[in-house]
């Protein structure tokens, strides 16, 4: 396998909400979308960028900036992944490629998937689905499970809140379904945006037509990433939104279950 390089902004070990078992999650830098609620805004820009250090913020007033994002070789990443092999084996876990959007760095992703498969490590691709189909075609066989985001089905709304249209995303999902891939759909529940009864009904009926969707995860909006926007000196658009309470999440779960889907709250 050819040695490739890519840009990532984090490697998180003991990731336990990114698929089954204990996993290591690799966060790719760069994303074609700009979702208002993005929990990893530092993953949107492709190149390394400056971020205000949390350490200095508390220590004194002067703000020190760290660089977020680094170029790294696929071999370096795989070495890091392999460190937790024993945990993957005990827990039926593995590696999750997330971001940002991993499909934005196809060569790098491909190489990492291949290396992981060579080591018999379970692979997950966490994706927005926004990429040319040819790229998906190339990697599809070395992904064991897709975590596939569906946010809004109304194209206009989708444009407004993510910056891109739904077309490519839905086409790619059909493609994966045709190829009988193992897929978990993830829906971020952003009050007043993605949880409207209209949107949920559209998503529900759309998904119910697709075979090979093993589960739908609904992810409640949270404010944990707010501080990151400040540190990146980016505006945060969702200031007035309150995270959904448990009852609301259960309501949504029941609503989607009416479409014959298996639904789980949280990832």
Partner 1 sequence: MNERVKKLREQSINAKPSLSLERALLLTDFYQSGVIEKVSIPIARALAFKYLLENKEICINDGELIVGERGPEPAATPTYPEICTHSMKDLEILDTRSKISFSVDEETRQLTQEKIIPYWKGRSIRDQIFEKMDKGWIEAYDAGVFTEFMEQRAPGHTVAGRQIFQKGFLDYKKEIVEALNSLDFDKDPEAHSKREQLKAMEIAADAIMILAERYSKKAIELAKNEEDSKRKQELEKIAEICSYVPKNAPRTVWETLQHYWFIHLGVITELNTWDSFNPGRLDQNLYPFFKKDLEEGIISLEEIKELLQCFWIKFNNQPAPPKVGVTAEESNTYTDFCLINLGGVKEDGSDAVNDLSYLILDVIEEMRILQPSSMVQISKKSPDAILKRALKIVRTGFGQPSIFNTDAIIQELLGQGKSIIDARNGGASGCVETGAFGKESYILSGYFNLTKVLEITLYNGKDPRTGNIIGLETGVPSQFNTFDELFESFRLQLNYFIDIKIKGNNIIERLWANLLPSPFMSLLIDDCIENGKDYNDGGARYNTTYIQGVGLGTITDSLSSLKYNIFDNKITSMQELLESMEKNFEENQELWVKLIRETPKYGNDDDYTDELMNRVFNEFYTSVNGRPNTKGGCHRINLLPTTAHVYFGSVIKATPDGRKEFQPLSEGVSPVQGMDIKGPTAVIKSASKIDHLKTGGTLLNQKFTPQFLADDDGISKLLYLIKSYFRLDGHHIQFNVVSADTLRKAQKNPELYRNLIVRVAGYSDYFINLGENLQNEIIERTEHMSM
Interacting residues toward partner 1 by CB under 8 A: 12-17, 21-22, 55, 83-84, 86-87, 89-91, 93, 224
**Minimum gap (Å) between residue 31 Cβ and ligand SF4:** 3
Look at residue 13 and give the partner it binds from partner 1, ligand SF4, none, a contact being a CB closer than 5 to 8 Å depending on partner kind.
Answer: partner 1
Q: What is the largest CA-CA distance in the chain?
A: 56
Going from the C-alpha of 241 to that of each of 251, 253, 260, the distances in angstroms are: 18, 20, 30
Count of residues near ligand SF4 by CB under 6 A: 12
Sequence-distant (6+) residues with CB within 8 A of 156 are none
Nearer to partner 1 (CB atom), residue 90 or residue 257:
90
Q: Pattern 21-60, binding to ligand SF4, x per CB under 6 A?
A: ----------x-xxx--x-x--xx----------------
Alpha-carbon distance of 196 to 105, in angstroms, equals 33
Look at residue 31 and give the partner it binds from partner 1, ligand SF4, none, a contact being a CB closer than 5 to 8 Å depending on partner kind.
Answer: ligand SF4
The answer to whether residue 6 forms part of the interface with ligand SF4 (CB under 6 A) is no
**Minimum gap (Å) between residue 19 Cβ and partner 1:** 12
Q: Pattern 116-155, binding to ligand SF4, x per CB under 6 A?
A: ------------x---------------------------
**Minimum gap (Å) between residue 33 Cβ and ligand SF4:** 4
Nearer to ligand SF4 (CB atom), residue 94 or residue 99:
99
Look at residue 224 and give the partner it binds from partner 1, ligand SF4, none, a contact being a CB closer than 5 to 8 Å depending on partner kind.
Answer: partner 1
Look at residue 17 and give the partner it binds from ligand SF4, partner 1, none, a contact being a CB closer than 5 to 8 Å depending on partner kind.
Answer: partner 1
Find the binding residues for ligand SF4 in span 214-233 (CB under 6 A): none
Give φ, ψ of 84 to 5 degrees: -105, 25
What per-residue string of b and e applies to 78-117 under the rule 16 or more CB within 10 Å gives b?
bebbbebeebbeeeebbbbbbbbbbbbbbebbbbbbbbbe
**Minimum gap (Å) between residue 92 Cβ and partner 1:** 9
**Minimum gap (Å) between residue 225 Cβ and partner 1:** 10
Which residues of the chain form contacts with ligand SF4 (CB under 6 A)?
Answer: 31, 33-35, 38, 40, 43-44, 99-101, 128
């Amino acid at each position: 396998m050819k040695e490739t390089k890519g840009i990532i902004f984090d490697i998180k070990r003991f990731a336990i909400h990114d698929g089954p078992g204990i996993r290591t999650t690799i966060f790719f830098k760069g994303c074609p979308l700009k979702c208002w609620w993005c929990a990893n805004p530092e993953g949107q820009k492709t190149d390394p960028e400056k971020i205000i250090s949390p350490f200095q913020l508390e220590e004194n007033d002067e703000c020190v900036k760290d660089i977020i994002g680094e170029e790294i070789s696929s071999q370096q990443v795989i070495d890091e992944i392999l460190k937790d092999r024993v945990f993957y084996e005990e827990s039926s876990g593995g590696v999750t490629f997330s971001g940002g959007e991993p499909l934005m760095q196809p060569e790098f992703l491909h190489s990492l998937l291949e290396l992981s498969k060579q080591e018999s490590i379970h692979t997950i691709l966490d994706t927005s689905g926004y990429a040319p189909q040819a790229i998906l075609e190339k990697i599809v066989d070395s992904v064991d499970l897709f975590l596939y985001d569906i946010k809004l089905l109304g194209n206009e709304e989708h444009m407004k809140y993510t910056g891109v249209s739904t077309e490519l995303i839905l086409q790619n999902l059909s493609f994966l379904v045709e190829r009988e891939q193992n897929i978990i759909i993830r829906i971020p529940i952003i009050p007043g945006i993605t949880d409207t009864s209209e949107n949920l009904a559209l998503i529900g009926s759309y998904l119910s037509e697709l075979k090979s969707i093993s589960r739908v995860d609904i992810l409640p909006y949270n404010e944990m990433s707010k501080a990151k926007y400040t540190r990146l000196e980016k505006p945060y658009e969702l200031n007035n939104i309150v995270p959904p309470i448990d009852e609301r999440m259960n309501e949504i779960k029941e609503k989607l279950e009416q479409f014959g889907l298996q639904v789980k709250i949280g990832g």
